Structure 1
Amino acid sequence: MEQVVLLNDSGQAIGVTDKATVHHLDTPLHLAFSCYVFNGRGQLLLTQRAHEKRTWPGVWTNTCCGHPAPQEAMPEAITRRLGEELGLTVRDLTLVLPRFRYRAVMGNGVVENEICPVFAAFTDDEPAPNREEVAGTAWADWSGFSAEVLAGTTDISPWCRQQVAELVELGANPAEWPAADPADLPDAAVIAAG
């Protein structure tokens, strides 16, 4: 059974719970990650969440989101999920927003409540989506996509909307975004294995 790491408001681990039961009307704060994967042309790989997902089914979002297992290093968790969901291998995995946090409520009242460090990466692969996780994929020009998100003219997940607003502050070219200091990650986040 897949587990997620529960957090206090300071980002310290306070326990674990089953992923299958963590999202509900009063979802506890937990650890997650988001990853934005770009190709050599600077295009962002967008994904449409599978229609069977408990949270935001069928919604378009950034490349990959997930939860590291207890004591799993963030880079390994991201690499694992990109492989499982999209069949991707990536290079230059870079921490860019170490303390991103959000809370969002779906129309049915189900809550997402995460401290969710954001990473960027690059790939030469074309996605091979796992349809249990991903309903669709599309490559999007970063400048056009981010402008549409900021203007509110594209439907996108609430976390992606908030993340894009912070990512554009890092610069126009994702390949030149500065790496954040891993020391700024929440205490519960593991950056290196072992």
Structure 2
Amino acid sequence: MTTEEHVVLVDPEGRALGTAPKSAVHRQDTPLHLAFSSYVFDHDGRVLLTRRAAHKVTWPGVWTNSCCGHPLPGEPVDQAVLRRLSYELGLVADHADLMLPTFSYRAVMGNGIVEHELCPVYRVTVDAPVLPNPDEVGEVRWMPWKEFADGVRSGLLAISPWCREQVPLLMELGADPLGWASATDERLPQAARA
């Protein structure tokens, strides 16, 4: 018997309010909940892009950053990043660097389904083959960071709404993604500090 995955509900200040089944939170009145985004880079500074599987509830078939997900209640967010990278992309990494500790967004799909997340952003560096899980990922693509970031900022690249908001903030950290200074966990919202 499998247990349904739960997400952590949060208030606008980033304090935990409780949990809810993941399957129940993505709807037209999606409550603010804890999530994460991650950007995987190789040692040449290329970023790994993923196309969301066509059967996903939110933004099916849309290109986005490397991996997104939700920490389990009580799970450190950086550990959730590593868990999901392994599950979705077959990537094993020893750590995830916190880049944007307080990022949050709200986006509405054409069918009215809302994504509403407090979503710290992480960088992970790997040099390993990617093994996409078809339950989660339709395609993968490596792209030089500058080419990707310029394409997102100019609007020439169609990308998920959260990624479109994150890229300009990441660009403020510097031109070289491998040289970005990481933030400390103390800067995370309270609910994200397991």
- TM-score, shorter chain, exceeding 0.5: yes
Q: Determine the C-alpha separation between the residues in 2 that align with 1:67 and 1:190.
A: 14
1:122 paired residue number: 125
Query: Which 4+ residue blocks in structure 1 deviate beyond 6 angstroms?
Result: none
| Structure 2: gaps (5+ residues) | none
* Secondary structure of residue in 2 paired with 1:20: helix
2:111 aligned to 102, 108, 111, which one? 108
Quote how far apart the aligned CAs of 1:181 are.
2.4
1:165 paired residue number: 168
Q: Determine the C-alpha separation between the residues in 2 that align with 1:64 and 1:139.
A: 13
1:10 paired residue number: 13
Q: Determine the C-alpha separation between the residues in 1 that align with 2:95 and 2:104.
A: 23
* 1:82-126 Cα distance to aligned partner (Å, 9 max, x none): 000000012452100000010000000000000000000101111
Instruction: Provide the TM-score with structure 2 as the length reference.
Output: 0.96
1:67 paired residue number: 70
* Secondary structure of residue in 2 paired with 1:65: strand
Equivalent residue letter for 1:88: L
1:156 aligned to 150, 155, 159, which one? 159
Quote how far apart the aligned CAs of 1:153 are.
0.5
| Structure 1: gaps (5+ residues) | none
Q: Determine the C-alpha separation between the residues in 2 that align with 1:75 and 1:8.
A: 21
Aligned length: 191
Q: Determine the C-alpha separation between the residues in 1 that align with 2:167 and 2:129.
A: 23
Considering only aligned residues, what root-mean-square deviation do their CA atoms show, in Å? 0.9
* 1:128-170 Cα distance to aligned partner (Å, 9 max, x none): 0000000000001100000010000000000001000100000
1:84 paired residue number: 87
* Secondary structure of residue in 1 paired with 2:96: strand
1:47 paired residue number: 50
CA contact (8 A) 1:91 1:123 kept: no
2:186 paired residue number: 183
2:61 aligned to 58, 61, 64, which one? 58
Quote how far apart the aligned CAs of 1:190 are.
2.7
